[in-house]
Structure 1
Amino acid sequence: MITTSANDDTNARTDYSVSRARAWFGFAMIFLLMMSDYIDRQIIVSLFPHLKEEWGLSDKQLGGLVSVISVVVALGSIPVAMLADRFGRVKSIFVMASIWSCATIACMFARSYGQLFAARAVVGLGETGYGSVGSALISALFPKRLHATLLGAFFGASSVGAVLGVVLGGVIADHWGWRAAFGAVGFPGMIMALLFLLVPDYKNVIVKIAPTVDSGGPGAHLSRMFKTLSRGPTMWVLCIAGSFQMIVVSAMWSWMPSFFNRYHGMPTATAAKYAAVLVLMGAFGALFWGWVADRVGRQRGANKLLLLSMTTVLTALLFITAFTAPMGQTAQFILILAGGSMMTCTVGVSVSAILDVTHPGLRSTGAAVHAFAINLFGLAVGPFLGGVISDHWGLQTALSVIPAAGFLASIFYWRASRSYEADARMAAELVRGAEVQAAAQRDVDLGNLPKAQA
């Protein structure tokens, strides 16, 4: 006879995998570390004027200090997530946060562009896989009805972190120099990394990939893993769509402080505060559009992807109008804020959809494939491309052209909506099969126990 505890009954009734209190503590820590992640990423953008003055850097070089993190995150996201799926998410995140915090502190001691570039690359090494592993942890701890909302809030934390990074960087640099800014944000990250060890993890699901006659070598194993990961096209199309939209987001986040400084004559600290309002609007937007997606997707899951197809077009139109149409500073700022409230609409919803169509034992890896794509082909492209265009034709031209990537994102989100439901059904069948197999294994295990224990 199989018995369950009162705690198990409570979890079953609420669809939480652990007690409600432990789940929400876990979410709080995941949220705070995402803030730390983006504080450390984005603090550099408010320091651009100081670095340009001290070292005589070009906009392309400045953009590279942002893009290098996304490149490193992209290259390491899949292997790190595969290790986390097998060896545990909580310990993996503790190691990640410790590395990126120490590397941020090391930026204080850079004496050349090359040294700072290398330290920023190590920040990216630490942040590798955090978004995907954190997403999988949220997906496991909370009921599905909350996934898009909580993932929207989780990725909205990146906007909050970016706001704090931009504001803190501008204020601290004006008072104590740009080096002090890195230390001010690096040490709190170390404390949060230690506290994360108290977060509950979920039990690993080991995915056994059957070998074939020609299965020799790591390449063949990787090929079989990707075939197991997702049986349909939705995940891959979402990776393309998300990449185009992240080009827009990363360009705006990276270059708005410089835009306000150069075109509106604002001091660096003031420009950072104006840019921070834009990023903060993105944080609210990620949460709001995740909430909307959860509701429009209740009757038909594909509706949440159709929603993204519309919001990405509106984002592009708002930004293009703001930087091309003749208008006053106030009107331009209002349009920029409107675009900022919509540009992060995709972050939580895309990951939620990918988790819906991914093999249950490879969810961290599925989210990591998405992270790989949006970091390498989206977040890494926006700042660098903005710098290249700015060096040749001016920063305002760069900010006028880059938002057009949202039109391409819209097309691919529409395409993903066509295949989403069929792929989600296949993934759901895998989940049910895994549950049946686990139940059968429990019966076998109990049958092998002495009767007194059974």
Structure 2
Amino acid sequence: MQEMQPSTTLSAGRTRLTMFLLAIIYVFSYIDRNLIAIVLEPIKQEFDVSDTVMGAVSGLAFAVLYSAFSFPISRMADKGTNRKNIIAVCCGLWSIATVASGAVTQFWQFVVARMTVAIGEAGGTSPSLSMVSDLYPPQKRSFVISLFMIGPNVGLLAAMALGGWIAQEHGWRAVFIYFGAPGLLLALILYIVGRDPGLGIYDTAAEDEARKQPQGKFLTDVRAIMKLKGFFLICMGTAVAGMVGYGYAIWAPTFMVRNFDMPLSHAGLAFGIASGVFATFGTIFSGYFCDKLSCQDSRWQLRMPTLGILISIPFGFGFILWPVDAFWMLGSIKVPHAILFAAGFSFFNSWWPTLAYSAISHLVSSRQRATSMAILGLFLTFFGAGIGPLLTGTLSDLFSVGNGGEGLLPALLIMLSLLTLSALFYYKAIGPYQERVSGLKADEDNSKKTQQSEMQSPIETK
């Protein structure tokens, strides 16, 4: 493989600092995005709305604007706009909107605030992943992205554990204010001390030459990316997995409150620790071993998320169906035995986000990376954050009719069953993905041979 030297003066210390800031900001983006999960029940009661409406607000209202703004912002990143500045400005915007979510007095104001959070976060994930991909060489990319992707797990842990306690002690409005404010400081720090390493600094000579060509029209570039072998199947696998994941994560704390008769703070603490901690381990585990295995066989980049999803399904069923009267008492806190299954589900179901984004980074060139991440993010956000909580809430309302008002249990079971479809999409993508990656490797080898031939030609002529 051609040795690639970075064309940046960014020091190792500055690289690590920038990576750390991006990761912390990503943590807070997921905290601000998912705070609504732990305070969903009190918000619903205060504004007197249904599970369907809360599912729409927590998902669809967010997803629509996130999807609409992610493409133009990602396009800016691919054109060479300083990605650090994009992320800092967007972080400041979603943090202000999160604080505003706790200051509203009308339900429509809450909806507007949540949609503004979506606009800000649309400029967070894709430019960040594009920057992370340029901070370290390709052979370390899955592991580095896995470290970055710890963000959602740590964010979920903080939102559930601390958010539940804050809501219990100070009310649901304080949760948004306390977690939104630190983002303003982080945005300022990134703007001042963070550095963009430069677009495509680890590109091969052929990729570097292609990147210098004029960028095509937006829709033309999107169509070209969508036609890449395996890309659409990866997007569909991510869309279905995200739909289940968001529906599960948003409604699981409410399920614990209703099913296990737990206080909001205890449910948030138990679910946050089980899900956040074990998902963190799963994310690091999958990224590290995927890099090792993919060096020998590129198919492991998609085999691992497929296996992780399939193994996670029985754990998810165990969490939902385990007897409600089986629990431990830790002091005054009731801990259901079912929480062990939630931990297992989180460990194995955390494999697919990291490995899907990493797979996409290997399929495209550096000048397509932010846009391709935005496309994948569109599938994940629209189907995941948009449809997942809404569909779960709608099914809950539907099954509640004639069932004593408790329809969340069958709704979650139906959602978890859909993971089999996600695994099928990832499995179908393995062959086309390997073909595409092999083709890129062959182009790289040919480019290297051409360069060597051009260097030897003058000597031979002489």
Q: TM-score normalised to the size of structure 1?
A: 0.86
Structure 1 match to 2:395: 389
CA contact (8 A) 1:230 1:358 kept: no
Residues 376-406 of structure 1 show CA distances to partners (whole Å, capped at 9, x for unaligned) of: 1122221111111111211111111101121
Contact persistence 1:42–1:254 (CA under 8 A): yes
Partner deviation per Cα, 1:231-250 (whole Å, 9 max, x = no partner) = 62222211111111111211
Task: Name the structure 2 match of 1:323.
Answer: 320
Q: Shift of the alpha carbon at 1:276?
A: 0.5
Q: What's the secondary structure of 1:380's corresponding residue? A: helix
- 1:122 is aligned to 116
CA contact (8 A) 1:17 1:140 kept: no
1:286 is matched with 283
Q: How many residues of Structure 1 are paired with residues of Structure 2 in the alignment?
A: 420
- One-letter amino acid matched to 2:433: Y
Unaligned runs of 5+ in 2: 201-210, 328-335, 400-406, 452-462
- SS where residue 202 of structure 1 aligns? coil
- Cα separation, partners in 2 of 1:433 and 1:227, compared to 1, 3 Å: farther
SS in structure 2 opposite 1:109?
coil
Map 1:45-60 → 2, pairs under 5 A? 45-60=37-52
Alpha carbons of 1:231 and 1:50: their partners in 2 closer, same or farther (altered >3 Å)? Answer: closer
- Out of 93, 96, 102, the residue aligned to residue 99 of structure 1 is 93
1:71 CA drift (Å):
3.0
The reply on whether 1:269 has 2:265 as its aligned counterpart is yes
1:253 to 246, 249, 265: 249
Shift of 1:79: 1.6
Query: What are the Cα deviations for residues 168-190 of structure 1, in whole angstroms up to 9, with x where unaligned?
Result: 32211222221121111111000
1:201-228 superposed Cα distances (whole Å, 9 cap, x missing partner): 13346564587xxxxxxxxx33421244
| Counterpart residue number, 2:194 | 199
Query: 1:244 maps to what in 2?
Result: 240
CA distance in 2, matches of 1:347, 1:368: 14
List alignment gaps of at least 5 residues for structure 1: 1-10, 212-220, 439-454
Shift of 1:304: 2.2
Task: Work out which of the residue numbers 401, 421, 428 in structure 1 matches 2:414.
Answer: 401
In 2, distance between residues paired with 1:82 and 1:428?
26
- Partner Cα distance (1:83, 1:431) in 2: 27
* Cα 1:272–1:326 shift into 2, 3 Å: closer
Mapped partners of 1:356, 1:132: distance in 2? 15
Structure 1 residues 30-429: aligned runs within 5 Å: 30-67=22-59, 68-86=61-79, 87-197=81-191, 198-204=193-199, 208=213, 221-229=217-225, 232-280=228-276, 281-324=278-321, 328-329=326-327, 330-393=336-399, 394-427=407-440
Q: Measure how far apart 1:142 and its partner are.
A: 0.6
Deviation at 1:64, TM superposition (A): 2.1
Identical amino acids, percent of aligned pairs:
23
TM-align CA RMSD: 2.7
Q: Are the aligned partners of 2:229 and 2:435 in contact in 1 as well (CA < 8 Å)?
A: no
Partner of 1:22: 14
Q: 1:271 to 1:82 in 2, by over 3 A?
A: same
Number of the residue aligned with 2:206: none
* Aligned residue type for 2:47: W
**What amino acid does structure 1 have at the position aligned with 2:150?**
G
The structural deviation recorded for 1:411 is: 0.9
1:433, 1:419 → 2: CA distance?
A: 21
Distance (whole Å) between structure 1 residues aligned to residue 47 and residue 449 of structure 2: 62
User: Aligned equivalents of 1:298 and 1:83: distance in 2?
Assistant: 32
Provide, for residues 387-445 of structure 1, a one-character-per-residue CA deviation record: whole Å limited to 9, x for no partner. Answer: 1111121111111110112111111111111011221244457778999999xxxxxxx
Q: 1:125 to 1:251 in 2, by over 3 A?
A: same
1:105 Cα deviation after fit: 1.1
Alpha carbons 2:153, 2:275 under 8 Å: kept: yes
Q: CA deviation at 1:69?
A: 1.9
